[in-house]
Amino acid sequence: MRQLNFDVLTLFPGILAGPLNESILKRGRDKGLLNVRVWNIRDFAEDKHKTADDSPYGGGAGMVLKPEPIFKAIEAVTAEYPGERLLTILLSPQGRLFDQRQAERLSEEKRRIVLLCGHYEEIDERVRTALVDEELSIGDYVLTGGELAALVVIDAATRLLPGVLGDEESAYRDSFGDGLLDNPHYTRPADFRGMKVPDALLSGNHEEIRRWRRREALKATLMKRPDLLKTAELTDEDREMLAELKREVRREL
């Protein structure tokens, strides 16, 4: 049984509490497939006010997370799990873009994953230099802190664990599972306010349904994220469908 272990270091543990106790993440934890422990960085601050940040040397706006409490927090995690290897990841806008391939990589990670949530203006560079193994970013924008990014990473990796989802194949049929966007989905009723479910999905012909779904996935990717087609895993059938779709688009222009 594959199991994921996360330790999240944050100034605001409450941000993570709700999502970790709902839906797929709760299911993963209940099944023992996902373990998440949240550590409050302020608990490791050395002064009576539990100060975790200070003004930057050289001046400038904002505050910088201090090195002492973060070093002590990492040391506490290490002491808590003697003999276990750690993979320490800083959630940062400077990091490598987190995508489905990264989620797949982390879902197979055997080391305990420590997610360090930045906050305020920046984090003391000595933390990055001495403690951080890698940095990840969930997009080219700035969040108030790394907590939401940590939840994205945990969620995306957890749903790939066998046994977490009700349908074992659904994680790999989703968008980006094979480099493409997902195909459209429909449920009852077959006719809603004049909007009908495509005939192929009502045919009962499994091969026709498969081809329709694949073609629609290719179409969605072509229209919305054509950049993904450069690296998507395409078969000869996919390329034929794609060529036909491109001809249709040209005719409509």
Among 27, 42, 93, 104, the one annotated catalytic: 93
Which of 121, 115, 160 minimizes the C-alpha distance to 137?
115
In angstroms, the CA 144 to CA 201 distance is: 44
Q: Is 227 a catalytic residue?
A: no
- Amino acid type, 83: G
Number of other CB atoms surrounding residue 33 within 10 Å: 17
Handedness of CA 224, 164, 15, 69 (dihedral sign): negative
Helix (H, G, I), strand (E, B) or coil at 98: coil
In our burial notation (b when 16+ CB lie closer than 10 A, e otherwise), range 21-32 reads: eeebbebbbeee
Which of 141, 135, 142, 177 is CA-nearest to residue 156? 177
Active site annotation includes 93: yes
Distance separating alpha carbons of residues 228 and 165, to the nearest angstrom: 26
Catalytic residue of the set 19, 124, 147, 159: 159
Instruction: Report how far residue 180's alpha carbon sits from residue 129's, in angstroms, rounded to the nearest whole number.
Output: 36
From 155, 174, 178, 182, active-site residue: 174
121 is catalytic: yes
Q: Is 123 helix (H, G, I), strand (E, B) or coil?
A: strand
Phi, psi of 95 (to 5 degrees): -80, 175
- Of 121, 135, 178, 182, which one is the catalytic site residue? 121
Q: Using alpha carbons only, how large is the chain's radius of gyration in Å?
A: 23
Query: How is residue 226 written in tokens?
Result: 């054509």
Catalytic residues: 93, 121, 159, 174
